[in-house]
């Protein structure tokens, strides 16, 4: 340290405690960065890299940003997953003896952002913590610092379930112990893209015990304790807005693993990874940002309780029935700001006067909302408004204290309403009317003394004074004028009246600003007492917003109320895909029925590519999710079971991050479904087995279907191009063949997108290639080869690997039928339907070796 200047020694000492963060070191009007921070920040922020003398023989790399625009630069770094430590001057430079004292006042990380400009207003910003225990169980804790929300879940089904749980929420940062498994850390960083932070303390400190009153398990307390310690360490300020931890009872919600959420495009699309084109985008008719966040939570966790689902459906139905009242409610909600995050900012201490004006305006709309809700006739809606507290005392406090158009900053004055504080009114009066009063005093003194040249002036040294030329000194009254300064040709005086006003005038502006700040802080502290009530109000208004949004989407998109049976029957009439039909506006979406009674567990779907098999499968899953989250559904009618889990394998893509092939990803996702599904689950498998050779793929596909049919017994939709699998309907009594209808017309295929019973008769692959505008010569050649393959003789079909049919030779005439060989006889005698896929593969291998030998 000795080689550096005292200031640089101070910097290095502070930086040592924040090695994984950019240290924004306050120097005057700039935040400066040095050494490696400067090198990295200059690249990430595209700002100029300079250097300075720091006492070392080499100049020190340096870059900086103005403090008044630092928020934009911090936002860029946070968005890239970095952390930023804000180091401020914590003493007056004038009073400092030596280097000004500096401290880190806040560590901003991706999961602890509070500034509105860095947040998506319609999405939570979760900080999570994962804690592993010796028995192999995990806790996953969540905190949204902007809203004060805290929750925790216990997971006993392995780390894959932890990954799925984290993937299910908009998590930005994960806190773990320093000895957390390295491979799992890589999964969290690389596969899910989280910023990792470390904390080894996990006890609940004094003053926070009330947060864990609702949880009694030691694992919950330890898991949340780690998260709480990290928040305390990074924020270094009051955390009064933190709400008690809510245990997440995973068994109360439909389970959607990360594969299903991704494949079904619930909150973002696979291709563009944006909201547009997702189920969330179709359902989001919320007005408030806090309502949008609650909608996303409901979508992430569909309900399992029929009673709770029924209550939501009743409330949506009540809002659908009264269009004009619903429109009035939507109009009123437009004036309600984000009460949830406003409450968080109040408690956090970074709320400004404009934020409180938003709060005041929002509270002013609550009585109107209550009046509108009372006009709904449906009894299910009564509970929505009976328990709402419009907080009239808080509204009155804000009405009485705050000016209507305050500035953004809280140290410039102009925030407090006239009449709220007498002393402040005097300061303002002095500031506004000081010059007028001085002019009036000057006129008064001239009149009383008869001295026309008398004048009142001001300078910074002596303040206000009355100046009289020496020739007129005899005209001054005795005893009232006090000499202040002597000039060559004049004397300067002050009177008790001027002296009294001088202090008021000179200090009016400064004192006014100081007093306003004090009054604002007092108001803010009083508002802090309403934080819990505001959080409760925010939750109630959010719920109302989501329900009216469901009613709006049902009304606009012709959705109907689903019913839930007591058996495992699926009966959807004229079902539609909620997203695809929106994309196809102007075109007619072809609706389809789906029926699976107690005697049908598996629907085997065949049909050409582009015919709509995947859409048909997805729409059943999305319909079930919508129904169980409380929404009406896109069909004429629907009777559904309550599904505990939905598993999907739709689409194929390599997992480049973990180095897994398409086929491996396919097998892993299929295994996940087979391992965790129950009779109350839904499984969607699309083209399983296509990532490997034909025989491998067919064998695996059949084995998977048989396993689901005999052991899992979940409701399953299985699409395939292996037409040979359709014969399984003769062997598996709870499997049924259906296909997507297509017709050939004048050499072209016409996709009718209609589901019919039975198996498809052909795949129309070449027709699809023709639709894709492949060259005509290529299409013609493929047609010739297809005819050749379909008419090939058994000798060619059974040829050895060394004599396989070449697809690149001219078409030849089939040879004469030869006498069957011994291998052919054995092959003909095999009873394939009584063999397992593995036995069949072994027998095929034996016959192949027999031919080769």
Annotated binding site: 607-614
Alpha-carbon distance of 549 to 609, in angstroms, equals 36
Q: How many CA atoms lie within 13 A of 683 on its CB side?
A: 30
Helix (H, G, I), strand (E, B), or coil: what is residue 249? coil
Alpha-carbon distance of 842 to 853, in angstroms, equals 17
- Residue 787: other Cβ atoms inside 10 A: 11
Strands in 207-328 per DSSP E: 246-247, 255-256
- Burial of 796-822, coded b for 16+ CB within 10 Å and e otherwise, reads beeeeeeeeeeeeeeeeeeeeeeeeee
The length of the chain, given as a count of residues: 853
Residue bearing tokens 């004055």: 413
State how far the alpha carbon of 452 is from the alpha carbons of 442, 443, 469, 471, in Å: 10, 9, 11, 12
Alpha-carbon distance of 636 to 574, in angstroms, equals 6
Q: How many CA atoms lie within 13 A of 131 on its CB side?
A: 23
DSSP 746: T
Known binding positions for ATP: 607-614
In sequence order, what DSSP letters do the residues of 394-424 get, joined into one string?
HHHHHHHHB-SS--SSSSSS--BPTTS-HHH
Helix (H, G, I), strand (E, B), or coil: what is residue 243? coil
Alpha-carbon distance of 280 to 277, in angstroms, equals 8
Rg (alpha carbons) of the chain, rounded to whole number: 38
Element (H, E) at 65: strand 60-66
State how far the alpha carbon of 61 is from the alpha carbons of 83, 84, 217, 291, 836, in Å: 20, 18, 51, 47, 70
Walk across the sheet containing 463-469 and list its strands: 455-459, 463-469, 490-494, 482-486
Alpha-carbon distance of 140 to 129, in angstroms, equals 6
Q: Classify strands 50-52 and 60-66 as parallel, antiparallel or unpaired.
A: antiparallel
Q: How many CA atoms lie within 13 A of 431 on its CB side?
A: 15
Helix (H, G, I), strand (E, B), or coil: what is residue 143? strand
DSSP 221: H
Alpha-carbon distance of 336 to 124, in angstroms, equals 18
- Residue 111 sits at the vertex; the CA angle it makes with 106 and 112, to the nearest 5 degrees, is 30
Neighbouring-strand partners of residue 362: none
Helix and strand numbers, DSSP H then E, in the chain: 27, 27
Separation of first and last alpha carbons in the chain = 80
Contacting residues for 554 by C-beta, under 8 A, at least 6 apart: 316, 320, 560, 631, 632
């Amino acid at each position: 340290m000795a080689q550096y200047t005292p200031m640089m020694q101070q910097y290095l000492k502070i930086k040592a405690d924040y090695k994984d963060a950019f240290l924004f070191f306050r120097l005057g009007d700039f935040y400066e960065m040095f050494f490696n921070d400067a090198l990295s920040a200059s690249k990430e922020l595209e700002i100029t890299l300079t250097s300075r003398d720091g006492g070392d023989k080499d100049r020190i790399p340096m870059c900086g940003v103005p403090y008044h625009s630092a928020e934009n630069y911090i936002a860029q770094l946070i968005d890239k997953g970095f952390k930023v430590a804000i180091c401020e001057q914590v003493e007056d430079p004038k009073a400092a003896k030596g280097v000004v004292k500096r401290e880190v006042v806040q560590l901003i990380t991706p999961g602890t952002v509070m500034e509105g400009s860095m947040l998506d207003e319609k999405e939570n910003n979760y900080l999570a913590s994962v804690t592993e225990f010796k028995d192999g169980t995990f806790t996953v804790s969540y905190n949204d610092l902007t809203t004060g929300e805290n929750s925790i879940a216990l997971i006993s089904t392995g780390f894959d379930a932890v990954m799925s749980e984290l993937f299910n929420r908009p998590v930005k940062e994960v806190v773990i112990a320093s000895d957390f498994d390295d491979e799992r850390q890589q999964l969290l960083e690389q596969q899910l893209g989280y910023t990792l932070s470390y904390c080894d303390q996990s006890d609940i400190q004094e003053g926070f015990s009330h947060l864990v009153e609702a949880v009694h398990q030691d694992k919950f307390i330890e898991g949340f304790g780690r998260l709480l310690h990290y928040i305390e360490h990074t924020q270094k300020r009051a955390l009064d807005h933190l709400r008690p931890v809510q245990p997440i009872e995973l068994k109360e919600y439909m389970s959607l693993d990360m594969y299903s959420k991704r494949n079904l495009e619930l909150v973002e699309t696979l291709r563009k990874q944006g909201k547009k084109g997702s189920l969330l985008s179709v359902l989001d008719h919320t007005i408030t940002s806090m309502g949008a966040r609650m909608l996303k939570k409901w979508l992430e966790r569909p309900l399992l309780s029929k009673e709770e689902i029924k209550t939501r459906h009743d409330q949506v139905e009540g809002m659908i029935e009264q269009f004009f009242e619903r429109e009035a409610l939507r109009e009123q909600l437009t004036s309600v700001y984000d009460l949830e995050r406003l409450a968080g900012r109040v408690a956090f201490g970074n709320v400004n006067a404009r934020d409180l004006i938003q709060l005041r305006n929002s509270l002013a709309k609550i009585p109107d909302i209550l009046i509108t809700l009372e006009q709904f006739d449906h009894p299910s809606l009564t509970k929505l408004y009976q328990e709402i507290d419009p907080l009239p005392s808080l509204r009155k406090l804000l009405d009485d204290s705050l000016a209507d158009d305050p500035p953004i900053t809280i140290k410039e004055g102009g925030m407090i309403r006239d009449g709220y504080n007498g002393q402040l009114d005097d300061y303002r009066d002095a500031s506004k009317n000081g010059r007028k009063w001085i002019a009036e005093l000057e006129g008064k003194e001239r009149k009383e003394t008869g001295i026309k040249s008398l004048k009142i002036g001001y300078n910074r040294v002596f303040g206000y004074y009355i100046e009289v030329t020496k020739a007129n000194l005899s005209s001054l009254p005795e005893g009232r004028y006090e000499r202040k300064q002597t000039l060559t040709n004049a004397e300067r005086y002050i009177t008790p009246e001027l002296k009294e006003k001088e202090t008021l005038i000179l200090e009016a502006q400064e004192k006014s600003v100081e007093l306003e700040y004090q009054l604002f802080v007092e108001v803010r502290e009083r508002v802090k007492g309403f934080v819990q009530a505001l959080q409760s109000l925010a939750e109630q208004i959010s719920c109302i917003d989501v329900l009216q949004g469901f009613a709006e989407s049902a009304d606009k998109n012709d959705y109907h109320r689903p019913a839930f049976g007591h058996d495992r029957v699926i009966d959807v009439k004229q079902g539609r895909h909620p997203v695809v039909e929106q994309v196809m506006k102007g075109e007619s979406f072809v609706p389809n029925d789906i029926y699976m009674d107690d005697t049908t567990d598996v629907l085997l779907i065949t049909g050409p590519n582009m015919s709509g098999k995947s859409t048909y499968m997805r729409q059943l899953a999305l319909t079930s999710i919508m129904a169980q989250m409380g929404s009406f559904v896109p069909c004429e009618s629907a009777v559904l079971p309550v599904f505990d889990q939905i598993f999907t394998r739709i689409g194929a893509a390599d997992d480049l991050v973990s180095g897994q092939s398409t086929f491996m990803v396919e097998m892993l996702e299929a295994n996940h479904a087979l391992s965790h599904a129950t009779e109350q689950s839904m499984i969607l498998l699309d083209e399983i087995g296509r990532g490997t050779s034909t025989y491998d793929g067919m064998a695996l596909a059949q084995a998977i279907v048989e396993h689901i049919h005999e052991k899992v017994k979940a409701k399953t939709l299985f699409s395939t191009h292996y037409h040979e699998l359709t014969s399984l309907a003769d062997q598996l009594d709870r499997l049924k063949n259906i296909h997507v209808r297509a017709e050939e017309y004048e050499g072209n295929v016409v996709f009718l997108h209609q589901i019919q019973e039975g198996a498809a008769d052909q795949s129309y692959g070449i027709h699809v290639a023709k639709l894709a505008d492949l060259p005509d010569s290529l299409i013609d050649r493929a047609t010739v080869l297809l005819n050749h393959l379909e008419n090939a003789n058994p000798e060619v079909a059974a040829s050895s690997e060394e004599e396989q049919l070449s697809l690149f030779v001219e078409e030849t005439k089939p040879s004469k039928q030869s006498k069957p060989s011994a291998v052919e006889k054995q092959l003909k005698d095999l009873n394939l339907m009584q063999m397992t896929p593995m036995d069949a593969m072994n027998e095929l291998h034996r016959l192949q070796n027999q031919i080769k030998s």
